[in-house]
């Protein structure tokens, strides 16, 4: 089973600014924070992607799983707080049977960030509410 956090590298820092004061995009900043959050772990990988085509919802990530539901999430403020919430939620996803995490178990900083649930080829067509 492959589990990967795919991070859009071209996502803006904010609605108004593409780059921070050092010329870094929001996606690059979120990638840095996720890499730091995952230091010492080998169960999750990070994949950098040029664009996820969800520009109005920056900063975007795909929480990808080869056997369970994957999720597109965005509207993150790039930094350590978002990275921690993303990894914490994705860990709960990995512990679940289908990749569904009950809402009451979501970290507060993940609420309001989900854009789409993406079925794997083996996902069931009918599921219980999350």
Share of the chain above pLDDT 90, in %: 81
Res 21: pLDDT? 93
DSSP state of 60: -
121 or 11: which leads in pLDDT: 11
Pick the more confident residue, 46 or 122. Answer: 46
Secondary structure (3-state) at 105? helix
Cα–Cα distance for residue pair 130/128, rounded to 1 Å: 6
pTM (2 decimals)?
0.92
With a pLDDT cut of 70, the percent of the chain lying above it is 93
pLDDT in tens, 14-42: 889 999 999 999 999 999 999 999 999 99
pLDDT confidence bin for 121, thresholds 50/70/90:
confident
Across the range 62-86, mean pLDDT stands at 96
DSSP structure string for 74-101: ----SSHHHHHHHHHHHHHHHHSSSS--
């Amino acid at each position: 089973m492959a589990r990967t956090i795919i991070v859009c590298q071209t996502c803006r820092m904010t609605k108004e600014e593409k780059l921070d004061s050092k010329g870094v995009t929001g996606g690059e900043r979120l990638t840095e924070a996720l890499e730091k959050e995952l230091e010492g772990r080998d169960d999750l990988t990070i994949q950098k992607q040029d664009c996820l085509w969800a520009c109005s919802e920056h900063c975007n990530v795909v929480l990808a799983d080869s056997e369970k539901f994957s999720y597109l999430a965005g509207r993150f403020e790039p930094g350590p707080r978002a990275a921690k919430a993303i990894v914490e939620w994705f860990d709960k996803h990995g512990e679940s049977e289908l990749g569904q995490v009950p809402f009451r178990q979501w970290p507060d900083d993940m609420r309001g960030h989900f854009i789409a649930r993406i079925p794997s080829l083996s996902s069931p067509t009918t599921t219980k509410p999350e």
